[in-house]
Structure 1
Amino acid sequence: MYQTDPPRPPQETMPTMYDLPSELVGESGLPDEFHRIQADLLSETCQPLTYPSEEILLASDLNLYYDPRHPLWYKRPDWYMVLGLPSASQQQDLRLNYVIWQEGIDPFLVVELLSPGTEQEDLGKTLREVNRPPTKWEVYEQVLRVPYYIIYDRYENHLRAFKLMGTRYEAISLPENRFFLAELELGLGLWQGSYQQTTGLWLRWYNAAGWVPTRREQAEQERQRAEQEHQRAEQERQRAEQERQRAEQEHQRAEQERQRADKLAEYLRALGVDPDSLS
């Protein structure tokens, strides 16, 4: 578990996700097409072997409120994962926001998809302004202490990964643009292919067997397996039919030989020769 126990302001009832705004005026409430498709692919292929799916929150553009001393401060990661958190089983319980002091568990991994307007902050290259909230990098590294921070720049096809070591993020070496997380028995890497009818270089999860298949790919694999089983069954049926035909032909040849023998015996008897006496 990756939990926090932030200090609570004295004699104050902390707001919950129902009290805090899920959008602010002037901010887009929906991601662009790339962010939406990329987040869908991450969520669809994220299937850790070490946690049941009902104990994992996979969130995209869900406001993350992180400081009980400043309850209106929030970040909106492009995609993040929280482990050991019961998922909502009823529609009315679906989260409007993710509120750290309400949930009690910090994210395990955050993904930011670089945009020209957010690149400097995403990479920790901006300084915090006086009397302003901390930057994304500061929140993920120093406030929430998120173990893994992933940054993907689709414009440069550049993947970066950072792991929290002590109090600071350290870059992870990414041979072949992928890395494996032993805690999940899953890895993240760049995959060239088509998803939701869009071809490109996508950030995607993989396991020991290869890229984790999407639902469409799983359905296609099942269709191919069913087709292969059908073909094997058809081949077996054809082999059985061929065996039946060969047996029928052997039976017909044996019947023809018997009929010839009967005719010969009948001819010999007409000549006064007992065929049974012939050697």
Structure 2
Amino acid sequence: MVTTVPYEYRQLPTAEDLPDSDENPVDNELQNDIPNLLLNLLRLIWSEREDWFWGVDMCFYYEPNIEEPEKSKAIVPDAFLALGVDRRTNEGGRLSYVLWQENVLPILALEVISKKYNGEYDRKLLQYQDLGILYYVVYNALSGRRGLYKNHQSLEVYKLVNGNYELLPPVSLLQEGGKMVWMPELALGIGCERGISGNWEREWVYWYDRNSIRYLTAEERTKQAEELASQERQQKEKLATYLRSLGINPDEI
């Protein structure tokens, strides 16, 4: 879905005029690792596409302030996805995502809850809802614990329906505890299951196809290719041994 947002201002601040960070550091590894894992997967899944952008910890400016550009309204998701935009804009890449320059509203926003609650289930949810972002995804490694997170799942996907977010029911995956939500507008599913990334085994957030099959990471693809090559070598060696037992030299065949 591509949403064009018209503005009638003549002199709007550009990305070069705007701060490119809110100067609030992340407070745990997952806020970096999960968005970057999803980014690297998209680079594999959409390797031939040039019409998407996945921003990680980047300012998303949605309302300009002409007189004082630094006061333009912005929000900084842990990650967001825009479709129908240029994959790369220049040699240095984007400084920030400026709505009145891109003219395309992101279709998905992701928040990874940290040890300090930042309103992901209320204040930020309402912000993304008011902005009209179609999907809002919240990952929470602390889900199921008492207090604020007691009634929340580790991965929750909200969809904008008639102007309000509705929590979508996940599909259970074959792996115990795994779950996924299909998003037809993206032709992707997003879900979570236990896996290994960078030698760290835990529950990770992944992309899935329409059959609920998880897309493999680059390291998993490499390992899979190595295993297949090893199986082929073993089969060839087994065949060669059998031929020799019959008095046939396999090198002469």
Normalising by structure 1, what TM-score? 0.74
Counterpart position of 1:6: 6
From 112, 130, 153, the counterpart of 1:142? 130
* Pair 141,52 (structure 1): closer, same or farther in 2 beyond 3 Å: farther
Counterpart position of 2:15: 17
* Pair 17,76 (structure 1): closer, same or farther in 2 beyond 3 Å: same
Counterpart position of 1:55: 51
Aligned residues of 1:6 and 1:68 also touching (Cα < 8 A):
no
Deviations 1:92-113 (A, max 9, x none): 3x00100000001111111111
Counterpart position of 1:164: 160
Q: What secondary structure is seen at the aligned counterpart in 2 of 1:46?
A: helix
Q: What secondary structure is seen at the aligned counterpart in 2 of 1:53?
A: coil
Higher helix fraction (1 or 2): 1
The correspondence of residues 26-45 of structure 1 with structure 2, limited to 5 A, is 27-28=24-25, 32-45=28-41
Output the amino acid matched with 2:188.
L
Aligned residues of 1:108 and 1:146 also touching (Cα < 8 A):
yes
Deviation at 1:201, TM superposition (A): 1.3
C-alpha RMSD of matched pairs (Å):
2.5
Output the amino acid matched with 2:229.
A
The number of aligned residues is 229
Deviation at 1:47, TM superposition (A): 6.5
Q: How many Å separate the matches in 1 of 2:164 and 2:186?
A: 22
Aligned residues of 2:5 and 2:105 also touching (Cα < 8 A):
no
Q: How many Å separate the matches in 1 of 2:189 and 2:220?
A: 19
Counterpart position of 1:272: none
Aligned residues of 1:49 and 1:184 also touching (Cα < 8 A):
no
Deviation at 1:79, TM superposition (A): 1.1
Aligned residues of 2:30 and 2:112 also touching (Cα < 8 A):
no
The correspondence of residues 112-261 of structure 1 with structure 2, limited to 5 A, is 112-119=111-118, 121-124=119-122, 126=123, 136-143=124-131, 145-156=132-143, 158-176=154-172, 177-207=179-209, 208=211, 210-244=213-247
Q: What secondary structure is seen at the aligned counterpart in 2 of 1:213?
A: coil
Q: What secondary structure is seen at the aligned counterpart in 2 of 1:91?
A: coil
Counterpart position of 1:77: 77
Deviation at 1:5, TM superposition (A): 2.1
Deviation at 1:58, TM superposition (A): 1.1
Aligned residues of 1:56 and 1:82 also touching (Cα < 8 A):
yes
Counterpart position of 1:273: none
- Consecutive unaligned residues of structure 1, counting only runs of 5 or more, are 127-135, 247-279
Return 211-220 or 12-21, whichever deviates more.
12-21
How many percent of aligned residue pairs carry the same amino acid?
Answer: 26
Q: How many Å separate the matches in 2 of 1:182 and 1:66?
A: 25
Output the amino acid matched with 2:6.
P
